[in-house]
Amino acid sequence: MMNRSIQFIVCVLAILCQNINSAVAQTRSYDGVISVVPVQLEQRGKSVYINIDFVLEDVKVKSAHGVDFIPQLVAPAYTYNLPKVSIKGHNEYLAYERWLSLMSAKEKDSYEKPYVVETG
């Protein structure tokens, strides 16, 4: 009985492994070069001040797409997400504006705003 179960499992795994497709990378929703340059990281008392430059060289975001960047402060014990920076195509930006205008008061209270939203 145990031998038959092992044979069944091996057979199922062999069949499943034949249907595995190779990995495919996502296509980018923008053209151009985006680079991130850390300018300043300074601690004054209990506050940390961070300046980051996002350098956009000939960046064109596809109209119905967007790109979100979420900077992080990483320490050995935990990771802290900073507010995101969004670059949206024209149609995506209009959809974002409509979505914001249709939010209820409760949704607006719980919504975590991005640092900046720009059209690309």
57-115 confidence digits (pLDDT tens)? 888 888 888 888 888 888 889 898 888 888 889 999 999 999 989 999 899 888 888 87
Beta strand extents in 1-120 (DSSP E only): 30-44, 47-61, 66-69, 72-74, 79-81, 85-88, 116-119
Q: Give the position of tokens 């195509």.
A: 89
Q: Is residue 77 part of a domain?
A: yes
Q: Is residue 115 part of a domain?
A: no
CA distances from 93 to 11, 17, 46 (A): 50, 42, 36
Q: Is residue 11 part of a domain?
A: no
Q: Is residue 1 part of a domain?
A: no
For residue 67, give the nearest of 103, 40, 36, 98 by alpha carbon.
Answer: 36
How many structural domains does the chain have?
1
Q: Is residue 34 part of a domain?
A: yes
Q: Is residue 9 part of a domain?
A: no
Cα dihedral value 100, 106, 109, 115, nearest 10: -20
Q: Is residue 48 part of a domain?
A: yes
Query: Each residue of 17-44: pLDDT tens digit?
Result: 555 555 444 567 778 888 888 888 888 9
pTM for this predicted structure: 0.61
Parent domain of 96: 28-110
Q: Is residue 47 part of a domain?
A: yes
